Amino acid sequence: MDKQKIIIANWKMNLSPADSLILAEAIIAKLGEIKPLQARIVLCPDFLALSGVAKKIAGQSIGLGAQDCFWEPSGAYTGEVSPQFLRELGCAYVILGHSERRQDAGETDEQVNLKVKAALANSLIPVICAGETFEERQEGNKDFIISQQVSRALAGVKLLDQDNLIIAYEPVWVIGSGQAVAPEEAEHAHRVIRQVLIDHFSLAAVNGQIKIIYGGSVKPTNAGNFLIQPAIDGILVGGASLEAESFAELVKQANL
Ligand code: PGA
């Protein structure tokens, strides 16, 4: 992967398919005013909005991602979403193991691991989320928890030359809180994750095929502080990506 910073918008289950199209169009217009666009932009709408948003962003330098996928490519799995079908719709990325899925859908590290393998097998770039809860942090287990989540998500995962991977450090307790962690603290977590990745893969693979990004209450006012850190390759943005104006303001921080 190139050295370009990446900004991933996670719209979660906030927008209907129709509203997703309106926002995608507004974002395209706003980003068109930023020249040159320094960061790589990825939009992750609801599953039901993917095909519409894919058509809207066709021809733009904006990537498409899903917010989850199943671990089998097809078959008798009622209600699941196939990584292969996501690829067919134009997705290049898939968020996996987001803390909201771990909490609300009971997703386990083992399931995240299966999904990571399936995503790679279907030429999707997994965006694996890892982060500690407030209690884990208070107990002094932050680095251990992050390392464990990342290594479990990657158990048995091999990167072929064409594969890419993104790890998102997302402290669970700051998501949606309006208060991000200090950029220096995120950078420390990124160094912890980087060591796990080097132990699992190789320095060359980590430098060439993997990005480590930060997520959790990133806003236009603090995005620049994260994007400027050498160990932070980008940001995963929830709330501030739901409005074209604030998202474009945030994207501009990558140009500074
Ligand atoms: P937030 O969400 O930016 O609204 O905190 C980030 C995320 O959950 O990825």
Catalytic residue annotation: 98, 170
Q: What is the pLDDT of residues 92-107, one digit of tens each?
A: 999 999 999 999 999 9
Task: Give the model's confidence band at 210: pLDDT under 50 very low, under 70 low, under 90 confident, else very high.
Answer: very high
CA of 217 to the centre of ligand 1 (A): 6
CA of 52 to the centre of ligand 1 (A): 23
Task: Give the model's confidence band at 1: pLDDT under 50 very low, under 70 low, under 90 confident, else very high.
Answer: confident
Please give the C-alpha separations between residue 1 and each of 122, 147, 197, 204, 243, in angstroms, as whole numbers.
Answer: 17, 23, 15, 12, 28
Asked whether the beta carbons of 68 and 104 are under 8 A apart, the reply is no
Task: Give the model's confidence band at 3: pLDDT under 50 very low, under 70 low, under 90 confident, else very high.
Answer: confident
- pTM attached to this predicted model: 0.97
Q: What is the pLDDT of residues 175-205, one digit of tens each?
A: 999 999 999 999 999 999 999 999 999 999 9
Range 69-82 average pLDDT:
98
Position in ligand 1 atom list of the atom nearest CA 237: 3
For residue 238 and ligand 1, the question of a CB distance below 6 A is answered with yes
Q: What is the pLDDT of residue 255?
A: 82
Q: What is the pLDDT of residue 127?
A: 98
- Does residue 256 surpass a pLDDT of 80? no
Position in ligand 1 atom list of the atom nearest CA 217: 5
